[in-house]
Structure 1
Amino acid sequence: MNFVIIVIPSRMKKIIFAFFLFFTFLSSNYSQVQSPSEFLPNYGKQITHYHQVEAYFKQLTEQSTFIKKQKYGQTNEQRDLNVYFISTPENLAHLEQIRTNNLAAIGMSSQKTQTTGDKVIVWLSFNVHGNEFAGTESAMTVAYELVNPSNVTTKEWLKNTIVILDPCINPDGYSRYGNWLREISGKNTHPGLTDREHMEVWPGGRYNHYIFDLNRDWAWQTQTETQQRIALYNQWMPQVHTDVHEMGYNSPYFFPPSAEPLHEFIEKYQRDFHTLLGKNISAKFDKENWMYNTRERYDLFYPSYGDTYPTYNGAVGMTLEQGGIGAGREITMSNGTNLTIKDRLTHHATTVLTVVETAASQSEQLLKGFRSFMTDFRKNTKGKYATYVMKSNPKLDQMTQLLQKNGIEYSYADAKQNAFGYDYQTQKEHPFAIEPNDLIIKVDQPRAVMTQVLLEPNQKLNDSLSYDITAWTLPLAYGVKGYAVKNSIGIKTKSAIAIPEVNVPATVYAFHIPWNNRTSAQVLSQLHQNNIKVRSAMKEAIFGSTTIAPGSLIVTKGDNPKIVDFEKTVSAIIKIKSDYTVITTGFSANSKDLGGENFVLLPAPKIILFSGKGVGSTEFGSVWFYLDQILGYPVSIVDVDKFKRIKLHEYNTLILADGYYDFTEAEQKELSEWVKNGGKIIAMNGALSLFEGKEGFALNSYASDDEKVKAEKDAADLELKARFLDYGNEERRAISASIPGAIIENILDKSHPMAFGLGDTYFSLKTDDRHYSLLKNASNVVYVPKNFKSYGFVGHEIKKKLNETVSFAVDSKGDGKLIYMVDNPLFRCFWENGILLFSNALFLVN
């Protein structure tokens, strides 16, 4: 036997030993990375608590060098909001360089280094709807497979890819649903439908703390979760964004391509990626015999979704939908097969990993398309207009806040200039004057497309079968006069408006607070809560150089003799309203003295708001959020089935959000008597059915018996004609009588307190076909005129019926008031002029 002796130099020995130690460390390190099934004993069988989800990701970040955590905020219930960056250790070490390079390539950063090379950024969002919990369950599998040391394939993807994974956008809703499901779960599953496991209780886990649908809030950013997430999103600007959902449990899986309508601004590279992705995912689903569909229902139009918002910011945005809502832990589907949590999370994980795989393989095309989208359309506008001008108005305070949240640049005119543009309110082009302090928004900016999507007067809808509202025109939403101009306006501008500080003298007769935006209502809220007496002007009044418009608030020293240091106390409260003024005398120049009938004392509302079964969840949520967060005003919330426990005489205001209220005859009588004795009911949408056609109430669908007979005859004629219609076009025919969400012109009775501060015309966001004839013996404060103007899709049948119908009315009964709100002015709390209208109803109508 021969032996070969190899002599290794001492320097080489050290290198080999170092490599041995390195690989031993890696092996030891990676061997501790546990899969979700290893870490969580009931994974795939029961919903995972949110703290367990966080614990699982904690062990991943501790045991793997391929993942890094960043907390980006907290929910209303103080749960952490986290994202996890997943890539190679080298890429994670240069995250900040990669981020700034990405922004520099699209003109959003001046910092740029070339050391890291281009990386495609893929953002994965899970569980925006809390009860669609298979999303968060799948997020753990996705993260594991990306860092799993034995998965060589995913490591290749990560070489040129940064994955930003948000395992749960809505921890509060997820926890609400999870706690409920855990509490009602037994040892065995109940696949049959007749079990409480499949009967989620009100308000459900879909929504966040304030019962808002976070998937409709991306652009409006009314909710704290959205605000914090979008702030981080805008720091990264990914090329791909995946929004992971669930839908009804009988539905097959949905993945791109998306359905029509597709917004006309969506680019070819975004559509091409959708098509390629659809083919890649379908190949994997075909192999497993999993059912799926594409190009159905889920369109790309409304800008505030988790797929459209990224799309309008240059990414390839997409929705992924797995059947599962209402399934609980396991359910028998209509085809006889059982659907489990394991099935649902596996389908999601397979799809999401395919997204990452496809993005990694298409990184060059994605980066090229994204950069072109974000740079080429600055000067070569995709839309019709290059500049948007909003006339100076206190309501612009809220509009500019929205622009800031979305990273949209703006300035203010610092000179006068004539221009020619499209008037949003008249829908005509004509000359107008730009004056100092008018808001100027130019399309020539990094977020050119998003700017146009939010501000274009008429969004092109290439298919009327839309999944959501079809119009959101910002000047109309904010109640400001606006113009869209085709050319870029060269005018001297400034970055801000100088607001002079109010000089409060040692002795003040009264403070004047204009009633012209949400801040006015916030001030009144604080004045009431500090027991300060407040008056409101019914008509215009003039005091020296101060003109007081109807609705404006007056706080006099004479009404508040017990307030110590009146001037300092009141000015401290109202200083958030920068346009307040001081009045030194109660003697007016036009016979409207402060002590006269023109200035009425405002009672402080004592509010009760019904919640619970039968009340629309999100509609209740919008009222609650308005009172609690926007106004900061106290409200008693009571489940409607506890009506008998309420002492109505302790309240003067009752809010009935949209819903179906099953009051007994005795309860309805009690409410009616309470109103007669001075109570106020604000009834919204479906709640109006409590009063429609009832004796003693003005609300009616028809102005006369003859009108009712004609309507019934017309309906009968349509039924006869329908006998000859084909089945295939039934869905499209149905939309002729629908209005999924459009903007409708309304006439205002400007003399009524409910119209104060709204402007010359009110544009209402109408989201259903509910309509009522103009009321008799009541105040039709806001109503739709004949041949009204509109934005968005309105079915031709319903359009005819909306002529001369009421939108907001006040019905006086004894000493009290019934306020009918046919439309919801607080819809998603982004319709700013609607927020002011509701404030009028709450505070000024008495």
Structure 2
Amino acid sequence: MRLLLFITTVMATLVSFSSVAKPLSYYFADDVEFDPAIPTPQQVLGYEVGQWHVRPDQLVQYMQLLAQKSDRINFEVIGRTHEQRPLVMLTITAPDKLENIEKIRSAHLARLTDKVAKSEDDSAVVWMGYSVHGNESSGSNAALLVAYYLAAAQGDEIQTLLNNTVILLDPSLNPDGLARFANWANSNRGMNLSTDPKTREHIESWPSSRTNHYLFDLNRDWLLLQHPESRARIAKFHQWKPNILTDFHEMGPSSSFFFQPGIATRKHPITPDENVDLTKAIATYHAKTLDANNALYFTEESFDDFYYGKGSTYPDVNGGVGILFEQASSRGHSQETINGLLTFPFTIKNQLLTSLSTFKAAVDNREALLDYQARFYNQAIELANDDNFEGYIVENNGDNTRINDFLALLKQHQINAFATTKMLKVNGESYAKNSFYVPLAQKQYRLVKAIFSEQKNFIDNTFYDVSGWTLAHAFNLQFAKVTSDWGLKTEKTPWEKAKSTSIKTLGNSYAFAFPWDDYLAPKMLNSLLQKGIKARVALKALTATTPSGEIDFAAGSIIVAAGLQDKNNWVTLLNNAQNEFGIAITPITTGLTSQGADLGSRTMAVVKAPKVLLIGGSGVSQYEVGEVWYYLDRFVGVAPSIVEISRLDSLDLDNYSHIVLTHGNFDRITDKMKVAIKNWVREGGVIWGHKGGAKFLADQQLLKANYLSRRDLASAFETKDLHYGDKDHLAGRQRIAGAIFNTDVDLTHPLTYSIKRDTLPVFKNSTWLLQASQAPFVNVLTYTNKPLLAGFSDKVNVDQIAGEAELIAHSYGRGSVIAMTDNPVFRGYWYGTSRLLSNALFFGHTFRANGD
């Protein structure tokens, strides 16, 4: 009897694969006619949409063919991913308009100036973006059907749509992630489908394919632009400035379908209320369509429109309306849920239906959308003139890479900055000539304010994502509001990235030196070390004799002495390096210095190319592993060995100079490996841990420090007399969704070399906290007494954080243990704190401090 019951249960979880293959008639209404000359997805791919998960190469193949067969479509490659997959864009409109598409685009942008009146022929621009998360693939699969509809549908409705809109269709915002997931889902299903939520097909291994190549969430990169996918997309965005941008996602299998508006109180205060009104108007079209198909959905009770770095929110600060869609995910081909059997074709159909309802909304609300966008930009200068300050001044701190990358980021968002031509004093601080002024009075007035915002309290202090992202803080650039333009002198033309110039060629000399200030100095040093150059780091400041006279070199400067080199072409390598990285190397004519240590001093510590073990695997944050990997790879030139916890016991730790532990749970590390790690550090290894990694180090007593857990900080909140209805509000107060805090810096410590100011902004998105050590010389960074700089954090949390430790470092045997409360490389754009990690790689062995 039990065997029969078991067999019956197993059979109930199996669905014939052919039973979920749906023809076009499943997706489209019976009254939609199609041009038979336009190939269907099935005719090209060999299977019905939803029968398999489409791969990016198949998407591209089909989109190219549609463009060849249809006079309504232009096909364009706008960029390439890290893995060199094409990022494609279809431009779709009526054939006669497509022939004059540049004229139409220019006219659309011209409406955003006061000088051009609207025309009855103006088109609404609708950007359709699918599956920014690779394992939320119903969107990209629906894009097959959306593109087919736009190419092949016949009748009055499609003609009205094409005559009144320009549709920009991005079928896969994350091709690298989509490729990984398609391979996973397709390779783990059988001829008969298992609907068991626990089967392998529905549960990916670490890391998931939600992310791009470097394990980043691309839906958080629209503002930060760290990746080629985002940079290509933003360039295209500003070529058109769409009126509507859609962002198709998936959520948990046991949910239903969400479309915006989200929670009304959780929009960014800079977003105009009219944006919300238009979002609500568009929502009625989605509701009508889903009602007609008996599909469950919800609005206004989840998600937010606050962080401008998301696809559905970036348009809101650029005169458009962003719309988020979230479909319950089958996470494969078919899965049992609380709502019954959820099939992949069903998820695709909902994404198609709301794509079509978006088109209907765009046509019916065309004039309202165009008028809103024109007002959004045409009122910018007037709003700026009414504001209580003129703009922002940003220091040029001498780090050419960091300031240029910051300015380039602004430029990609159509924000102008102007170099100052004389010193300016603001709030008692002096900003030297060649600092940069960002005026409010420009078309991107609202985005300028959002990027520099230090707001700390909001109508609703609960956040789905970060509450603060001040870019100047992330780049550790001093900035201030300019309340008066009196005494302000700037260049007439805005900043443009200068062409690289050749640096003076080096000849033979006693030694050479270069400062550690530039953001690419670690990468240049590593490149030289990899090529066999032998180098030292000056642990104390010195003044050396050069052909140009006496020059001061700060602690952290890199010294390359002729007497240490054993390669004949070593000067040539130095010349090549300074031109490649744009960092000038200075000849030194004698080892005798006029001030500070001589070049043969013991304070000239050996530096070696790091060999980094980066621990990942189940339980470890794929995002933070990816962020460390990305930083080391792109900005330091180091290829870390990424090894899952389950494989650690097979390693010989002597092959590595450094171990990096990001956020995660490391309890799965075996006792044998824990002992091996301790012995490895004791013998001279350098181990770094942040967040969960730092907790592991403390729990293993490698790190001599105490910490406060999330529960410890939460216990400080008063809960007496609270009602059940207060639960969510309390959770919002206890959480730090993502805010910017300030720290005091020990500028004498080797881990802070290149940092000039005695305070350093850090990004904090957890309530785990290292406590300051009572031992001397080990608290490298501590939170200031009033640490909150930007974003929301409840006063109870802020008071507990004040004065505690951000970065602790001490010796352990002959090795070093370095721990940080927060993630120094958050989302790839925290240029300021990321230098702490590269300093640990090159200088982590140079300090001695007892943590007891």
Contact 1:121 1:238 in 2 (8 A): yes
1:584 aligns with 2:589: yes
Which of 358, 364, 369 is the aligned partner of 2:367? 364
Residue number among 650, 655, 658 corresponding to 1:653 in the alignment: 658
Q: Could you tell me whether the CA contact under 8 Å between 2:678 and 2:702 is conserved in 1? A: no
Q: CA deviation at 1:505?
A: 5.2
Distance in 2, matches of 1:383 and 1:346, equals 47
Deviates more, 1:456-465 or 1:292-301: 456-465
Which residue does the alignment assign to 2:561? 556
Contact 1:264 1:460 in 2 (8 A): no
The corresponding residue for 1:522 is 523
Q: Does the aligned pair in 1 maintain the 2:737–2:765 contact within 8 Å?
A: yes
Deviates more, 1:796-805 or 1:113-122: 113-122
Determine the C-alpha separation between the residues in 2 that align with 1:839 and 1:563.
26
Mean CA deviation greater in 36-45 or 164-173? 36-45
Q: Deviations over 1:660-714 (max 9, x none)?
A: 1211111100100010001111112212232224445403226xxxxx9xx98x9
8 Å Cα contact 1:442-1:488 kept in structure 2:
no
Distance 1:727 1:488, change over 3 A: same
Could you report, residue by residue, the CA deviation over 1:247-291 in whole angstroms, capped at 9, with x for unpaired residues? 111222111213232112212332121010112211222232222
Please, what TM-score do these two structures have when normalized by structure 2?
0.88
1:282 aligns with 2:287: yes
Distance 2:212 2:736 in 1: 27
Contact 1:692 1:700 in 2 (8 A): yes
Q: 2:419 maps to what in 1?
A: 412
Q: Structure 2 matches for 1:54-453, cutoff 5 A?
A: 54-106=60-112, 117-259=121-263, 260-324=265-329, 327-335=331-339, 337-381=340-384, 385-393=389-397, 394=399, 395-418=402-425, 420=426, 430-453=427-450
The secondary structure found in structure 2 opposite 1:169 is coil
Out of 679, 692, 707, the residue aligned to residue 701 of structure 1 is: 707
* Pairwise CA distance, 1:546: 1.6
CA offsets, 1:442-489, max 9 Å, x none? 122232222221123326632111111111112221112211113456
The amino acid that maps onto 2:528 is L
- Secondary structure at 2:150 match in 1: helix
Q: Is the 8 Å Cα contact of residues 79 and 171 (structure 1) preserved in structure 2?
A: yes
Summarize the alignment of residues 571-610 of structure 1 with structure 2, pairs less than 5 Å apart.
571-575=575-579, 576-610=581-615
Deviation at 1:433, TM superposition (A): 3.7
Alignment match of 1:762 (pick from 760, 781, 784)? 760
* From 466, 474, 477, the counterpart of 2:474: 477
**How has the CA–CA distance of structure 1 residues 321 and 571 changed in structure 2, closer, same or farther, with 3 Å as cutoff?**
same
The offset of 1:71, in angstroms, is: 1.0
Question: By how many angstroms is 1:783 displaced?
Answer: 1.2
Change in 2 beyond 3 A, CA 1:789/1:697: closer
Q: Which residue of 1 aligns with 2:14?
A: none
CA shift in 2, pair 1:528/1:385, >3 Å:
farther
Structure 1 residue 115: Cα displacement: 10
Give the distance between the partners of 1:813 and 1:444, measured in 2 at CA: 55
From the superposition, tell whether residues 291 and 842 of structure 1 become closer, same or farther in structure 2 (CA, over 3 Å): same
**Does the 8 Å CA contact 1:383/1:456 hold for their aligned counterparts?**
no
Would the alpha carbon gap of residues 114 and 361 (structure 1) be closer, same or farther in structure 2, given more than 3 Å must change?
A: closer
Amino acid at match of 1:55: Q
Aligned to 1:18: none
Would you say 1:43 and 2:49 are equivalent positions?
yes
1:682 equivalent to 2:688? Answer: yes
Determine the structure 2 residue equivalent to 1:510.
511
1:512 shift after superposition:
2.4
Using the TM superposition, name which of 541-550 and 128-137 deviates more: 541-550
Residues 101 and 113, structure 1, Cα contact 8 Å, conserved in 2? no
Q: Which residue of 2 aligns with 1:791?
A: 790
SS at match of 1:78: coil
Query: What is the CA deviation profile of residues 611-652 of structure 1, one whole-angstrom value per residue up to 9, with x for unaligned ones?
Result: 322221111111111122222223222222111221111211
Q: How has the CA–CA distance of structure 1 residues 500 and 586 changed in structure 2, closer, same or farther, with 3 Å as cutoff?
A: farther
Whole-Å Cα distance in 2 between the matches of residues 766 and 149 of structure 1?
Answer: 50
What does residue 6 of structure 1 align with? none
User: What's the counterpart of residue 744 of structure 1?
Assistant: 741
Residue 616 (structure 2) aligns with: 611
Q: Flag the 1:86–1:477 CA change in 2: closer, same or farther, 3 A.
A: same
CA–CA distance in structure 2, aligned partners of residues 59 and 433 of structure 1: 60
How big is the shift at 1:590?
1.8
Once superposed, what is the RMSD of the aligned Cα atoms? 2.6
**Contact 1:683–1:819 (Cα < 8 Å) also in 2:** yes
The reply to whether residue 547 of structure 1 matches residue 552 of structure 2 is yes
Supply the distance in 2 between the matched residues of 1:716 and 1:213 (Cα, whole angstroms).
32
Distance in 2 (CA, whole Å) between partners of 1:298 and 1:717 is: 28
Residue identity in the other structure for 2:706: N
Counterparts in 2 of 1:114 and 1:511: CA distance versus 1, 3 Å: farther
Distance 1:29 1:812, change over 3 A: same
Structure 1 residue aligned with 2:26: none
1:172 positional shift = 0.9
Pair 378,508 (structure 1): closer, same or farther in 2 beyond 3 Å? farther
What's 1:834 paired with? 833
Q: Does the 8 Å contact 1:391/1:482 carry over to 2? A: yes
Partner of 1:643: 648
C-alpha displacement of 1:213: 0.6
Q: Which runs of 5+ in 1 are unaligned?
A: 1-27, 421-429, 703-707
Pick closer, same or farther for the CA change 1:693–1:645 going to 2, 3 Å: closer
Distance across 1 between alignment mates of 2:477 and 2:173: 33
Contact map agreement 1:107 1:446 (CA 8 A) in 2: no
1 CA distance for matches of 2:317 and 2:250? 23
Q: CA deviation at 1:116?
A: 10
Looking at structure 2, the residues matched to 155 and 631 of structure 1 have their Cα atoms a distance apart, in angstroms, of: 54
Q: Find the aligned partners of 1:212 and 1:384 in 2 and give their Cα distance.
A: 38
Contact preservation (8 Å) 1:45, 1:340: no
Deviation at 1:117, TM superposition (A): 4.1
Question: How many residues get paired?
Answer: 794
Structure 2 letter corresponding to 1:512: A
% identical equivalent positions: 29
Q: Which amino acid aligns with 1:809?
A: I
Give the Cα separation in 2 of the matches to 1:548 and 1:361: 66
TM-score by length of 1: 0.89
Identify if the C-alpha distance between structure 1 residues 701 and 431 changes in structure 2 by more than 3 Å, giving closer, same or farther: closer
Alignment CA distance shift 1:623-1:601 (3 Å): same
In the alignment, is the contact (CA less than 8 A) between 2:462 and 2:733 conserved in 1?
no
Matched, 1:772 2:767: no
The 2-side partners of 1:655 and 1:735 are apart by 31
> Which secondary structure does the structure 1 equivalent of 2:520 belong to?
helix
Shift of 1:220: 0.9
* TM-aligned CA deviation for residue 406 of structure 1: 2.1
The 8 Å contact of residues 687 and 817 in structure 2, kept in 1 or not, is answered as yes
- Find the residue that maps to 2:447 and give its secondary structure: helix
